[in-house]
Amino acid sequence: MERTLVLHFHELWLKGGNRNFFLGKLLMAVRQSLEPLPARARIVHSRLLVDLPEEAVPAAVERLKRVFGVVYFAVARRVAAEREALFEAARQEVLGRQFDSFAVRAKRGDKTFPMRSSEIERELGRDLLERLQAAGHPGARVNLTSPGLTCFVEITSRWALVYTEKLPGPGGMPANSAGRLVCLLSGGYDSAVAAYKVMKRGVHLVFAHFHGLPARPGESSAPIARELVRLLTPYQFTSKLYLVPFEPIQRQIVTAAPERYRILLYRRMMLRIAETLARRQHALGLVTGDSFSQVASQTLHNLNAIDRAAVLPVYRPLIGDDKQEIIQAAQRLGTYAICSEPFQDCCPLFMPRAPALHARPEELDKAEATIDVEALVKQGVESATLEKYEFRQGEVRAPGAVGGKQ
Protein backbone atom coordinates (compact mmCIF):
# COMPACT_ATOMS: atom_id res chain seq x y z
CA MET A 1 0.00 0.00 0.00
CA GLU A 2 1.12 3.55 -0.70
CA ARG A 3 1.82 5.67 2.36
CA THR A 4 2.12 9.36 2.94
CA LEU A 5 4.07 11.00 5.70
CA VAL A 6 2.23 14.04 7.01
CA LEU A 7 4.72 16.51 8.47
CA HIS A 8 3.66 19.11 10.98
CA PHE A 9 5.65 22.21 11.81
CA HIS A 10 5.29 25.19 14.10
CA GLU A 11 2.72 27.60 12.85
CA LEU A 12 4.60 30.66 14.05
CA TRP A 13 6.97 30.88 11.13
CA LEU A 14 4.19 30.08 8.74
CA LYS A 15 2.79 33.55 9.25
CA GLY A 16 3.74 36.60 7.26
CA GLY A 17 6.25 37.13 4.51
CA ASN A 18 8.83 34.59 5.63
CA ARG A 19 6.53 31.66 5.20
CA ASN A 20 7.79 30.59 1.79
CA PHE A 21 11.40 30.99 2.84
CA PHE A 22 11.07 28.62 5.79
CA LEU A 23 8.82 26.18 3.98
CA GLY A 24 11.25 26.10 1.07
CA LYS A 25 14.14 25.36 3.44
CA LEU A 26 12.14 22.63 5.14
CA LEU A 27 11.12 21.05 1.84
CA MET A 28 14.74 21.07 0.70
CA ALA A 29 15.89 19.51 3.98
CA VAL A 30 13.25 16.78 3.79
CA ARG A 31 14.20 15.95 0.21
CA GLN A 32 17.92 15.86 0.97
CA SER A 33 17.40 13.76 4.09
CA LEU A 34 15.30 11.16 2.32
CA GLU A 35 17.57 10.61 -0.71
CA PRO A 36 17.88 8.05 -2.26
CA LEU A 37 14.64 6.55 -0.92
CA PRO A 38 11.79 6.43 -3.46
CA ALA A 39 9.97 9.27 -1.74
CA ARG A 40 8.28 12.34 -3.21
CA ALA A 41 7.99 15.39 -0.96
CA ARG A 42 5.67 18.25 -1.78
CA ILE A 43 3.66 21.02 -0.20
CA VAL A 44 -0.12 20.73 -0.44
CA HIS A 45 -2.46 23.18 1.27
CA SER A 46 0.28 24.30 3.74
CA ARG A 47 1.11 20.73 4.66
CA LEU A 48 4.29 18.96 3.83
CA LEU A 49 3.49 15.54 2.46
CA VAL A 50 5.86 12.76 1.46
CA ASP A 51 4.52 9.95 -0.71
CA LEU A 52 6.39 6.66 -0.52
CA PRO A 53 5.87 2.92 -0.70
CA GLU A 54 5.24 1.11 2.57
CA GLU A 55 8.64 -0.67 2.49
CA ALA A 56 10.45 2.67 2.61
CA VAL A 57 8.61 3.89 5.72
CA PRO A 58 10.97 2.61 8.47
CA ALA A 59 14.03 4.14 6.81
CA ALA A 60 12.20 7.42 6.17
CA VAL A 61 11.02 7.60 9.78
CA GLU A 62 14.63 7.27 10.98
CA ARG A 63 15.78 10.03 8.63
CA LEU A 64 13.01 12.42 9.64
CA LYS A 65 14.18 12.32 13.25
CA ARG A 66 17.07 14.48 12.05
CA VAL A 67 15.05 17.05 10.10
CA PHE A 68 14.78 20.21 12.15
CA GLY A 69 11.53 22.08 11.73
CA VAL A 70 9.43 18.89 11.91
CA VAL A 71 7.53 19.04 15.20
CA TYR A 72 5.77 15.76 14.69
CA PHE A 73 4.80 13.56 11.81
CA ALA A 74 2.43 10.77 10.99
CA VAL A 75 2.54 7.77 8.71
CA ALA A 76 -0.77 7.89 6.86
CA ARG A 77 -2.55 5.45 4.62
CA ARG A 78 -3.16 7.11 1.27
CA VAL A 79 -6.22 6.21 -0.78
CA ALA A 80 -8.32 7.90 -3.45
CA ALA A 81 -10.43 10.73 -2.06
CA GLU A 82 -13.65 8.74 -2.18
CA ARG A 83 -15.96 7.90 0.67
CA GLU A 84 -15.70 4.11 0.54
CA ALA A 85 -11.92 3.99 0.04
CA LEU A 86 -11.49 6.44 2.93
CA PHE A 87 -13.77 4.46 5.25
CA GLU A 88 -12.02 1.18 4.41
CA ALA A 89 -8.58 2.70 5.10
CA ALA A 90 -9.85 4.03 8.43
CA ARG A 91 -11.19 0.60 9.39
CA GLN A 92 -7.83 -1.00 8.60
CA GLU A 93 -6.02 1.68 10.54
CA VAL A 94 -8.23 1.50 13.62
CA LEU A 95 -9.54 -2.02 14.10
CA GLY A 96 -6.33 -3.83 15.01
CA ARG A 97 -5.27 -1.28 17.63
CA GLN A 98 -5.73 -1.31 21.39
CA PHE A 99 -7.58 1.63 22.93
CA ASP A 100 -10.45 2.30 25.30
CA SER A 101 -12.28 5.06 23.40
CA PHE A 102 -11.89 6.91 20.13
CA ALA A 103 -12.75 9.97 18.06
CA VAL A 104 -12.49 10.95 14.40
CA ARG A 105 -10.95 14.30 13.43
CA ALA A 106 -11.26 15.33 9.80
CA LYS A 107 -9.81 18.23 7.82
CA ARG A 108 -10.99 18.88 4.31
CA GLY A 109 -8.19 20.74 2.51
CA ASP A 110 -10.00 20.32 -0.81
CA LYS A 111 -13.47 21.78 -0.57
CA THR A 112 -14.73 19.91 -3.65
CA PHE A 113 -14.85 16.67 -1.63
CA PRO A 114 -18.59 16.08 -1.22
CA MET A 115 -18.63 15.57 2.58
CA ARG A 116 -17.92 18.38 5.02
CA SER A 117 -15.37 17.75 7.78
CA SER A 118 -18.11 17.43 10.40
CA GLU A 119 -19.96 14.93 8.21
CA ILE A 120 -16.86 12.81 7.78
CA GLU A 121 -16.33 12.83 11.54
CA ARG A 122 -19.91 11.84 12.28
CA GLU A 123 -20.40 9.22 9.59
CA LEU A 124 -16.98 7.61 9.80
CA GLY A 125 -17.28 7.66 13.60
CA ARG A 126 -20.56 5.80 13.40
CA ASP A 127 -19.17 3.28 10.88
CA LEU A 128 -16.15 2.55 13.09
CA LEU A 129 -18.27 2.33 16.23
CA GLU A 130 -20.52 -0.30 14.65
CA ARG A 131 -17.60 -2.39 13.53
CA LEU A 132 -15.86 -2.11 16.89
CA GLN A 133 -19.06 -3.15 18.64
CA ALA A 134 -19.48 -6.11 16.29
CA ALA A 135 -15.90 -7.18 17.05
CA GLY A 136 -16.43 -6.81 20.81
CA HIS A 137 -13.56 -4.28 20.97
CA PRO A 138 -13.15 -2.63 24.42
CA GLY A 139 -12.68 0.73 22.68
CA ALA A 140 -16.16 0.73 21.12
CA ARG A 141 -16.96 4.04 22.73
CA VAL A 142 -16.75 7.56 21.31
CA ASN A 143 -15.03 10.13 23.48
CA LEU A 144 -14.69 13.54 21.87
CA THR A 145 -12.92 15.28 24.76
CA SER A 146 -10.08 12.90 25.57
CA PRO A 147 -10.13 9.91 23.27
CA GLY A 148 -7.73 7.01 23.78
CA LEU A 149 -7.22 6.94 20.02
CA THR A 150 -7.84 9.62 17.40
CA CYS A 151 -8.37 8.69 13.79
CA PHE A 152 -7.16 11.69 11.76
CA VAL A 153 -8.47 12.19 8.25
CA GLU A 154 -7.08 14.75 5.82
CA ILE A 155 -8.54 15.28 2.36
CA THR A 156 -6.27 16.69 -0.35
CA SER A 157 -7.33 17.24 -3.95
CA ARG A 158 -6.84 13.62 -5.02
CA TRP A 159 -6.19 11.70 -1.86
CA ALA A 160 -7.61 10.89 1.50
CA LEU A 161 -5.01 10.43 4.23
CA VAL A 162 -5.78 8.43 7.36
CA TYR A 163 -3.58 8.05 10.43
CA THR A 164 -3.82 7.48 14.16
CA GLU A 165 -0.31 7.91 15.45
CA LYS A 166 1.83 11.03 15.68
CA LEU A 167 5.57 10.55 16.05
CA PRO A 168 7.72 13.29 17.54
CA GLY A 169 10.17 15.11 15.24
CA PRO A 170 13.13 17.08 16.55
CA GLY A 171 11.34 20.46 16.38
CA GLY A 172 13.36 23.63 15.89
CA MET A 173 13.85 25.64 12.72
CA PRO A 174 14.71 24.25 9.27
CA ALA A 175 18.40 23.54 8.62
CA ASN A 176 20.44 26.42 7.28
CA SER A 177 17.69 29.00 7.71
CA ALA A 178 19.47 31.25 10.24
CA GLY A 179 22.97 32.01 8.95
CA ARG A 180 26.38 30.76 9.98
CA LEU A 181 28.46 30.47 13.17
CA VAL A 182 31.83 28.89 14.01
CA CYS A 183 31.64 26.25 16.75
CA LEU A 184 34.68 25.53 18.93
CA LEU A 185 34.43 21.76 19.08
CA SER A 186 36.66 20.21 21.72
CA GLY A 187 35.97 16.48 21.68
CA GLY A 188 34.42 16.70 25.17
CA TYR A 189 30.71 16.18 25.83
CA ASP A 190 29.70 19.80 26.04
CA SER A 191 30.59 21.41 22.75
CA ALA A 192 28.93 18.75 20.58
CA VAL A 193 25.68 19.22 22.51
CA ALA A 194 26.06 22.99 22.18
CA ALA A 195 26.49 22.51 18.43
CA TYR A 196 23.30 20.47 18.22
CA LYS A 197 21.33 23.11 20.10
CA VAL A 198 22.24 25.96 17.76
CA MET A 199 21.88 23.82 14.64
CA LYS A 200 18.40 23.07 15.88
CA ARG A 201 17.63 26.78 15.63
CA GLY A 202 18.55 26.77 11.93
CA VAL A 203 22.22 27.78 12.30
CA HIS A 204 24.78 26.34 9.92
CA LEU A 205 28.01 25.54 11.75
CA VAL A 206 31.60 25.58 10.69
CA PHE A 207 33.67 23.60 13.21
CA ALA A 208 37.08 24.48 14.64
CA HIS A 209 39.05 21.98 16.68
CA PHE A 210 42.37 22.78 18.37
CA HIS A 211 44.59 19.77 18.87
CA GLY A 212 47.82 19.11 20.72
CA LEU A 213 50.30 16.35 20.17
CA PRO A 214 49.01 13.05 21.54
CA ALA A 215 50.73 11.87 24.72
CA ARG A 216 50.38 8.31 23.51
CA PRO A 217 49.95 7.13 19.91
CA GLY A 218 46.33 6.74 18.92
CA GLU A 219 45.07 9.22 21.50
CA SER A 220 44.92 12.34 19.38
CA SER A 221 41.75 14.36 19.72
CA ALA A 222 41.41 15.03 15.98
CA PRO A 223 39.74 11.67 15.16
CA ILE A 224 37.17 12.39 17.90
CA ALA A 225 36.40 15.78 16.38
CA ARG A 226 36.07 14.15 12.97
CA GLU A 227 33.66 11.55 14.29
CA LEU A 228 31.57 14.21 15.97
CA VAL A 229 31.38 16.22 12.77
CA ARG A 230 30.35 13.09 10.88
CA LEU A 231 27.54 12.53 13.36
CA LEU A 232 26.36 16.15 13.22
CA THR A 233 26.57 16.62 9.44
CA PRO A 234 23.24 14.94 8.50
CA TYR A 235 21.46 17.71 10.43
CA GLN A 236 22.93 20.44 8.22
CA PHE A 237 24.01 18.44 5.11
CA THR A 238 27.48 19.96 4.69
CA SER A 239 30.15 20.76 7.27
CA LYS A 240 33.60 22.26 7.29
CA LEU A 241 36.04 21.27 10.01
CA TYR A 242 39.17 23.30 10.71
CA LEU A 243 41.86 21.38 12.55
CA VAL A 244 44.24 23.81 14.21
CA PRO A 245 47.59 22.56 15.58
CA PHE A 246 47.60 24.21 18.98
CA GLU A 247 50.58 22.83 20.81
CA PRO A 248 53.16 25.32 19.42
CA ILE A 249 50.86 28.16 20.51
CA GLN A 250 50.44 26.68 23.98
CA ARG A 251 54.20 26.38 24.34
CA GLN A 252 54.64 30.09 23.77
CA ILE A 253 51.96 30.93 26.30
CA VAL A 254 53.51 28.57 28.83
CA THR A 255 56.89 30.21 28.36
CA ALA A 256 55.72 33.81 28.46
CA ALA A 257 52.79 34.04 30.89
CA PRO A 258 52.11 33.35 34.58
CA GLU A 259 50.99 29.79 35.14
CA ARG A 260 47.63 30.60 36.71
CA TYR A 261 46.44 32.41 33.56
CA ARG A 262 47.41 29.70 31.10
CA ILE A 263 44.02 28.22 30.41
CA LEU A 264 42.41 31.61 30.07
CA LEU A 265 45.07 32.63 27.57
CA TYR A 266 44.61 29.40 25.62
CA ARG A 267 40.91 30.19 25.45
CA ARG A 268 41.59 33.74 24.28
CA MET A 269 43.85 32.44 21.53
CA MET A 270 41.23 29.91 20.50
CA LEU A 271 38.62 32.64 20.29
CA ARG A 272 40.87 34.90 18.23
CA ILE A 273 41.78 32.15 15.78
CA ALA A 274 38.15 31.01 15.55
CA GLU A 275 37.11 34.60 14.96
CA THR A 276 39.53 34.95 12.07
CA LEU A 277 38.18 31.73 10.59
CA ALA A 278 34.65 33.04 11.18
CA ARG A 279 35.37 36.17 9.15
CA ARG A 280 36.82 34.05 6.40
CA GLN A 281 33.65 31.95 6.39
CA HIS A 282 31.29 34.95 6.67
CA ALA A 283 30.08 33.63 10.03
CA LEU A 284 28.38 36.01 12.43
CA GLY A 285 29.61 34.65 15.76
CA LEU A 286 31.14 31.80 17.75
CA VAL A 287 29.64 28.92 19.75
CA THR A 288 31.22 27.16 22.74
CA GLY A 289 30.09 24.48 25.18
CA ASP A 290 30.79 26.55 28.30
CA SER A 291 28.54 26.20 31.30
CA PHE A 292 28.77 28.49 34.32
CA SER A 293 31.32 27.35 36.91
CA GLN A 294 31.75 23.88 35.46
CA VAL A 295 35.52 24.40 35.40
CA ALA A 296 37.74 27.25 36.59
CA SER A 297 37.76 28.99 33.20
CA GLN A 298 33.97 29.28 33.32
CA THR A 299 33.41 31.63 36.22
CA LEU A 300 31.58 34.84 35.34
CA HIS A 301 34.80 36.78 35.80
CA ASN A 302 36.87 34.51 33.63
CA LEU A 303 34.32 34.31 30.82
CA ASN A 304 34.21 38.09 30.80
CA ALA A 305 38.00 38.28 30.66
CA ILE A 306 38.15 35.65 27.88
CA ASP A 307 35.49 37.31 25.76
CA ARG A 308 37.38 40.60 25.53
CA ALA A 309 39.64 38.84 23.02
CA ALA A 310 36.85 38.58 20.44
CA VAL A 311 34.64 41.16 18.80
CA LEU A 312 32.11 38.72 17.41
CA PRO A 313 29.48 37.49 19.87
CA VAL A 314 30.21 34.19 21.64
CA TYR A 315 27.09 32.05 22.06
CA ARG A 316 27.02 29.53 24.90
CA PRO A 317 23.83 27.52 24.62
CA LEU A 318 24.69 25.30 27.63
CA ILE A 319 25.46 28.12 30.02
CA GLY A 320 22.70 27.19 32.48
CA ASP A 321 22.86 23.42 32.14
CA ASP A 322 24.23 20.98 34.71
CA LYS A 323 26.79 18.43 33.57
CA GLN A 324 24.24 15.68 34.15
CA GLU A 325 21.75 17.31 31.81
CA ILE A 326 24.45 17.74 29.18
CA ILE A 327 25.48 14.09 29.47
CA GLN A 328 21.88 12.99 29.03
CA ALA A 329 21.57 15.19 25.94
CA ALA A 330 24.82 13.68 24.61
CA GLN A 331 23.40 10.20 25.11
CA ARG A 332 20.24 11.08 23.21
CA LEU A 333 22.25 12.67 20.43
CA GLY A 334 24.67 9.77 20.18
CA THR A 335 27.82 11.80 20.83
CA TYR A 336 28.30 10.35 24.31
CA ALA A 337 30.03 7.18 23.12
CA ILE A 338 32.33 9.12 20.79
CA CYS A 339 33.39 11.56 23.50
CA SER A 340 34.00 8.73 25.97
CA GLU A 341 36.91 7.40 23.93
CA PRO A 342 40.24 8.19 25.56
CA PHE A 343 42.09 11.07 23.99
CA GLN A 344 44.68 13.63 24.85
CA ASP A 345 43.11 17.05 24.58
CA CYS A 346 45.41 19.97 24.11
CA CYS A 347 44.61 21.35 27.53
CA PRO A 348 45.72 18.71 30.07
CA LEU A 349 49.17 19.30 28.69
CA PHE A 350 50.61 22.38 30.35
CA MET A 351 47.79 22.57 32.90
CA PRO A 352 48.31 24.99 35.77
CA ARG A 353 48.25 23.68 39.32
CA ALA A 354 46.08 26.52 40.63
CA PRO A 355 44.19 28.31 37.85
CA ALA A 356 42.97 31.88 38.43
CA LEU A 357 39.27 31.99 39.30
CA HIS A 358 38.56 35.69 39.02
CA ALA A 359 40.79 37.13 36.32
CA ARG A 360 40.20 40.66 35.13
CA PRO A 361 40.58 41.48 31.42
CA GLU A 362 43.46 43.88 32.21
CA GLU A 363 45.35 41.13 33.99
CA LEU A 364 45.12 38.93 30.92
CA ASP A 365 46.12 41.83 28.66
CA LYS A 366 49.18 42.27 30.85
CA ALA A 367 49.95 38.55 30.86
CA GLU A 368 49.87 38.65 27.07
CA ALA A 369 52.11 41.70 26.81
CA THR A 370 55.22 39.73 25.96
CA ILE A 371 53.44 37.43 23.50
CA ASP A 372 53.13 38.38 19.85
CA VAL A 373 49.41 37.66 19.76
CA GLU A 374 48.92 38.67 16.17
CA ALA A 375 51.72 36.40 14.97
CA LEU A 376 50.30 33.47 16.94
CA VAL A 377 46.84 33.99 15.50
CA LYS A 378 48.34 34.09 12.02
CA GLN A 379 50.33 30.96 12.76
CA GLY A 380 47.22 29.15 14.01
CA VAL A 381 45.13 30.18 11.03
CA GLU A 382 47.81 29.37 8.48
CA SER A 383 48.64 25.98 9.93
CA ALA A 384 44.97 24.96 10.10
CA THR A 385 43.77 22.29 7.73
CA LEU A 386 40.24 22.25 6.41
CA GLU A 387 38.13 19.15 5.87
CA LYS A 388 34.75 19.07 4.16
CA TYR A 389 31.94 16.67 4.91
CA GLU A 390 28.64 16.15 3.19
CA PHE A 391 25.53 14.09 3.76
CA ARG A 392 24.30 12.79 0.41
CA GLN A 393 22.28 9.77 -0.61
CA GLY A 394 21.95 8.72 3.03
CA GLU A 395 25.68 8.72 3.76
CA VAL A 396 28.24 11.08 5.18
CA ARG A 397 31.18 11.50 2.85
CA ALA A 398 34.41 13.29 3.59
CA PRO A 399 36.23 13.99 0.38
CA GLY A 400 39.35 14.63 2.46
CA ALA A 401 41.52 17.55 3.48
CA VAL A 402 41.38 20.46 1.10
CA GLY A 403 44.15 22.67 2.46
CA GLY A 404 44.07 25.60 4.81
CA LYS A 405 43.02 28.60 2.75
CA GLN A 406 39.32 28.21 2.06
What are the residues binding Mg ion (CB under 5 A)?
Answer: 190
Kindly tell me which of 90 and 274 has the beta carbon lying closer to ligand ATP.
274
Residue 316 DSSP symbol: -
Q: Pick from 139, 147, 169, 289: which binds ligand ATP (CB under 6 A)?
A: 289
Per the DSSP assignment, residues forming a β-bridge with 6 are: 49, 74
Smallest separation (angstroms) from ligand ATP to the CB of 267: 6
Q: Which stretch binds ligand ATP (CB under 6 A): 39-47, 71-79, 81-89, 285-293?
A: 285-293
Which among Mg ion, ligand ATP, none contacts residue 189 (Cβ within 5 to 8 A by kind)? ligand ATP
Strand order in the sheet with 204-211: 314-315, 286-287, 180-184, 204-211, 238-245, 385-392, 395-401
Which among ligand ATP, Mg ion, none contacts residue 108 (Cβ within 5 to 8 A by kind)? none
Tell which residue, 64, 67, 69, 87, has the closest CA to residue 77. 87
Smallest separation (angstroms) from ligand ATP to the CB of 337: 14
Which among ligand ATP, Mg ion, none contacts residue 93 (Cβ within 5 to 8 A by kind)? none
Asked whether position 4 contacts ligand ATP by CB under 6 A, the answer is no
SS3 content of the chain, % helix, strand, coil (to 5): 40, 25, 35
Asked whether position 3 contacts ligand ATP by CB under 6 A, the answer is no
Cβ(128)–Cβ(94) below 8 Å: yes
Which among Mg ion, ligand ATP, none contacts residue 154 (Cβ within 5 to 8 A by kind)? none
Please state, in angstroms and rounded to a whole number, the distance separating the CA atoms of residues 223 and 229.
Answer: 10
Asked whether position 215 contacts ligand ATP by CB under 6 A, the answer is no
Asked whether the CA dihedral 84, 88, 93, 95 is positive or negative, the reply is positive
Query: Following DSSP, what letter does each residue of 173-191 receive, concatenated?
Result: --TTSS-EEEEE--SSHHH
Tell which residue, 48, 56, 42, 46, has the closest CA to residue 3. 56
* Residues in 155-214 that interact with ligand ATP by CB under 6 A: 184-186, 188-191, 208-210
Q: Pick from 121, 307, 321, 345: which binds ligand ATP (CB under 6 A)?
A: 345
Smallest separation (angstroms) from ligand ATP to the CB of 231: 14
Query: Following DSSP, what letter does each residue of 375-388 receive, concatenated?
Result: HHHHHHHHH-EEEE
Asked whether position 307 contacts ligand ATP by CB under 6 A, the answer is no
H/E stretch holding 327 reads helix 323-333
Smallest separation (angstroms) from ligand ATP to the CB of 238: 20
Asked whether position 314 contacts ligand ATP by CB under 6 A, the answer is no
Applying CB under 6 A, which residues contact ligand ATP? 184-186, 188-191, 208-210, 270, 288-290, 294-295, 297, 345-347
